[in-house]
Amino acid sequence: MDGSVDLGASAPAAVYDGPPDYRAVGRHGVFPDTSHDEIARLNFLAQMNRHLSTRVMPHVKTAWDRRAGPKFEKDHGRAPKDRHEVRKALLGDPAFTTWSALRRMTMEQRQQAGRWTCVRQAEAMAARTDALTRGDNRLSLDPALPIPRYISAVDHHCMPGSYHAELFSGDVSGAASYDHAIFATTGGMLGRYSDGGGQAVVKWLRDHRPDLKPKRILDLGAALGHNTLPIAQAFPDAEVVAVDVGAPMLRYGLARAKSMGVDNVSFIQADGSDLSMFADASFDCVLTIMFLHELSHGSMRAIFKESHRLLRPGGVVMHIEQPQYAAGMPLFEQAMRDWDAFYNNEPFWSALHEIDLDAALIAAGFSRENLIHGAVTAVVDKDVFPDAADDEGEDYGRKAAWHVIGAAR
């Protein structure tokens, strides 16, 4: 195949294994307009990420096994002690540095592409968002809320302005960029509305807590609520509360939810480490989805404590997160999973994945016998989107295959 064959013909479509065309992504009332070239840019970036994880990363493993690893042992007369020694040794190997440079650039290109699309129409999107949210008491913003240092010091995953900055009052371009272009980073593995994580939570609750009929659900670090909505849809009688520090995310999130016909979610600007606006025992379910790794250690402990205080007896807290660095995990894999911590502005990623989360939950007040452990993959429309459960590839830290850690109250 030279790439010029007709993918509509049966043979290439049957053998094709990769991200769908971007046009499969679901649109809603505040979704940015995307030109042909802007879509093509995201198609390229989705394939580029897939290429890096399936075609380039295996050579990094070979380079470690055959070149950098043996060199370390020869130089030190011993095997590496920990993942940090592995990572530092890899920094001297061209396979790792080339892959790393390309991976970093691909993330920068993804941010640039999404940002161009959204900033060029920022005023129109802000107006649409304002029309949908003005006067709606399901949006509660706190302009005086301090943005924590762990958010403001470095922009997470190289997203300029992170979750909180706005280019002008009412701007939602950062949220729209996150929303419409996360497809590029995951190659579509999060599904049509980038909600594969939220759908995974629903599936887990149905499978493991079939009797749980939550009346009130709290989603912490919800950003624009992309994972909150499938939960709200699965429990239409529940009141769902999405909390985040980023006002633009929340504004955009409510507008997005309303335009998708989801009306049982409130969006509240708050720091999860101080949820004093909510009464004790006022939620049946507290969730975080791919959020713990973005928190400072102190903030995580405070959030665990708050989640314990907020849960009713019988309620559950669930954290969906990339797997911990268990003792049996090879140091090479740990080092690769650490990449985002050092090179993609995820400063707490490394420490979070090595700490004893069980002990942290127990310290927050949960009892050991009530701890929950599990594993989930993103739930997507498998006819169109790649299913992480069927994917044998590994994109250390990016694959939509997560651990569940939590506790019952």
Partner 1 sequence: MSVALALETASAKPAGKRPYFLNPEVERVLAITMAAVQELAVARERIDTLERLLEAKGVVARDEIEHFAPTPGQSAERGLWLQEYLTRVLRIVQQEGEAIGANAAGDVYSEEVALEAEPAS
> What does the binding site for partner 1 look like in residue numbers (CB under 8 A)?
4, 6, 36-37, 39-41, 43-45, 48, 91, 96-98, 100-102, 104-106, 108-109, 111-112, 115-116, 119-124, 152-155, 158-162, 167, 342-343, 345
Whichever of 264 and 345 has its CB closer to partner 1, that residue is 345
Give 106 or 322: the residue with its C-beta nearer to partner 1: 106
∠ CA 55-59-60, rounded to 5°: 115
C-beta of 123 vs 239, nearer to partner 1: 123
Closest distance between partner 1 and the C-beta of residue 298, in Å?
Answer: 20
CB of 395 to partner 1, least distance (A): 18
Nearer to partner 1, 147 or 362 (CB): 147
Q: How far is the CB of 242 from partner 1 (least distance, A)?
A: 24
C-beta of 183 vs 304, nearer to partner 1 = 183
Nearer to partner 1, 24 or 158 (CB): 158
Asked whether the beta carbons of 299 and 397 are under 8 A apart, the reply is no
Instruction: Write the DSSP symbol of residue 293.
Output: G
Smallest separation, CB 308 to partner 1 (Å):
32
Q: How far is the CB of 238 from partner 1 (least distance, A)?
A: 36
User: Strand runs (DSSP E) across 103-210, as ranges?
Assistant: 139-140
Which is closer to partner 1, CB of 119 or CB of 380? 119
> Would you say 252 and 225 are in contact if contact means Cβ atoms under 8 Å apart?
no
For residue 319, the cross-strand partners are 288, 405
Q: Do the Cβ atoms of 60 and 96 come closer than 8 Å?
A: yes
Return the number of other C-beta atoms located less than 10 Å from residue 78's C-beta: 9
Look at strands 371-377 and 401-408 and give their pairing.
antiparallel
Amino acid identity of residue 136, one-letter, is: D
For partner 1, the closer of residues 40 and 371 by Cβ is 40
Report d(CA 185, CA 187) in Å as an integer. 6
Return d(Cα 248, Cα 230) in angstroms, integer.
21
Q: Which DSSP string corresponds to 148-172?
A: PHHHHSS-GGG-TTTTT--SSTT--
**What are the φ and ψ backbone dihedral angles of 9, each rounded to 5 degrees?**
-70, 155
What is the rounded distance in angstroms from the CA atom of residue 234 to the CA atom of residue 110?
A: 32
Closest among 259, 177, 194, 251 to 228, alpha carbons compared: 194
- Shortest distance in whole angstroms from residue 340 CB to partner 1: 12
Q: What is the Cα–Cα distance from 239 to 218, expressed in whole angstroms? A: 9
